[in-house]
Amino acid sequence: MLRVILHYPGPEEQQWLSDLRQYLPGARVQLWATGLPPADYAVVWAPPQQLIDEQSGLKAVFNLGAGVDRLLQCALPPSLKLLRLEDAGMATQMAEYVCHALVREFRDFGDYQQQASRTQWAQRVPRVRDDFVVGIMGLGLLGGSVARAVRAFGFPVRGWSRSPHAIDGVACFSGRDALAEFLAATRFLVCLLPLTDETQNLLCRATLSLLPRGASLVNLARGHLLVDEDLIALLDSGHLSAATLDVFRSEPLPEMHPFWSHPKVSVTPHIAAQTLRHESLEQIAEKIRLLESGQAVSGIVDRKRGY
Ligand code: NAP
Ligand code: GLV
């Protein structure tokens, strides 16, 4: 009988367990604990090293997220197959998050909200849409979905990725050599890159200074892509006008961190695209069935690239 272990600690753990059992009838699905018999597959988020060490016969590990940086912190057997979530309901959430932040800034809704709290009636001069260029770093499953959603509102959109892409209505740039040109005309920068050796600390003084004066940043990728002090310095100098941050070097964001109280920073608690139980487990169960019948699956992590 197929054996599957689940490691997803949290208040809904039992619900995840019972739903995974429903999606894999006929398999023995258990919560991971030390000393369990060898399993065929593991479904995990941020697994302890002990799980990897004890379960040395796994055919594959399924990561309960799109980003695999936490999983890659483990010492993993080189041949162990790792799979990440592909969309599973996250692409729509990302598009919603970015459209919300974009429209809020473009239409000055934050300022109107403050005015209303002072019973102040004052109309602002509308911004020019064609000047409000949205630049998306990362054109994968999530960045691509954001690009299409933003495009539907009529904003000029550009994207930056590792390899060349072609997306209708999106000016596509690729590779480190094209980064400066990509940033130079970006008014609203959205980061949806994976955290890898190449992207760590990429959002720093040197790169963010290449954005035009008054640009803003939305970081939805991982906290370690951003150098916090550099962002604060650029906001304070007026080079950048605003930042919307969902991910942080340390999570939860420490109580004393300056982002909490900075007037130009909006913080959300890593909710831009949450892992949805049914969508994720259905995808994983289907991939287990494909693997068991010897078929190809998508979403396999390329360890050399780091994503
Ligand atoms: P994906 O499909 O793998 O796409 C990653 C994109 O980043 C690809 O376009 C890739 O280029 C590009 N990229 C990678 N390394 C690069 C580099 N060095 N230079 C330029 N471009 C590079 O990943 P995804 O599913 O869209 O997810 C992206 C990230 O979002 C995840 O890794 C995770 O960190 C983050 N995330 C955050 C949340 C949240 O709630 N805040 C939720 C889910 C995911 P190529 O197309 O050329 O390969
Ligand atoms: C969440 O951050 C994910 O990587 O899915």
* 148, 270, 277, 289: the active-site residue: 270
Same-domain status, 51 and 146? no
Residue 306 lies in a domain: no
> In terms of domains, do 212 and 253 share one?
yes
Question: Would residue 61 count as lying in a domain?
Answer: yes
Same domain, yes or no, for 220 and 98? yes
Q: Which of 192, 246, 301 to mutate to test the pocket of ligand 1 (most atoms within 8 A of CB)?
A: 192
Ligand at shortest distance from the CA of 138:
1
Q: Are 100 and 49 contained in the same domain?
A: no
Sequence-distant (6+) residues with CB within 8 A of 156 are 129, 130, 132, 133, 134, 171
Q: Are residues 68 and 95 in the same domain?
A: no
For residue 300, being part of any structural domain is answered with no
Q: Do 67 and 102 belong together in one domain?
A: no
Q: Which atom of ligand 2 is nearest to the CA of 270?
A: 2
Known active-site residue 104: no
**Buried-state track 131-167, b at ≥16 Cβ within 10 A, e below 16:** ebbbbbbbbbbbbbbbbbbbbeeebbbbbbbbeebeb
How far is the centre of ligand 2, averaged over its atoms, from the C-alpha of 3 (Å)? 26
Q: Which domain holds residue 288?
A: 3-88+275-292
Structural contact between residues 241 and 267, judged by C-beta atoms closer than 8 angstroms: no
Regarding the beta carbon of 142 and ligand 1, being less than 6 Å apart is answered yes
Residue tagged 């023995």 (tokens):
28
* Predicted pLDDT of residue 97: 99
The pLDDT score that the predictor gives to residue 128 is 97
Residue 187 lies in a domain: yes
Domain membership flag for residue 188: yes
- Can you spell out the DSSP letters for 76-94? --TT-EEE----TTHHHHH
Instruction: Indicate whether 301 belongs to any domain.
Output: no
Same domain, 141 and 187: yes
Q: Do 279 and 230 have their domain in common?
A: no
Active-site residue among 222, 239, 262, 289? 222
Same domain, 199 and 169: yes
Low-confidence ranges of the chain (pLDDT < 70): none
Rounded-to-integer distance, Cα 187 and Cα 128, Å: 12
Looking at every residue in the chain, the average pLDDT score rounds to: 98
Pair (75, 106) in one structural domain: no
Residue 79 and residue 104 in one domain:
no
> Which CATH number do you get for residue 156?
3.40.50.720
Q: Is 67 touching ligand 2 by the criterion CB < 6 Å? A: yes
Considering the domain architecture, whether residues 132 and 213 belong to the same structural domain is answered as yes
Tell me which ligand sits closest to the C-alpha of residue 195. Answer: 1
If one counts the domains in the chain, the total is: 2
pTM: 0.98
Residue at 120 is within a domain: yes
> How, if at all, do strands 265-267 and 157-161 pair?
unpaired
In a domain, 305, yes or no: no
Nearest atom of ligand 1 to the alpha carbon of 199: 18
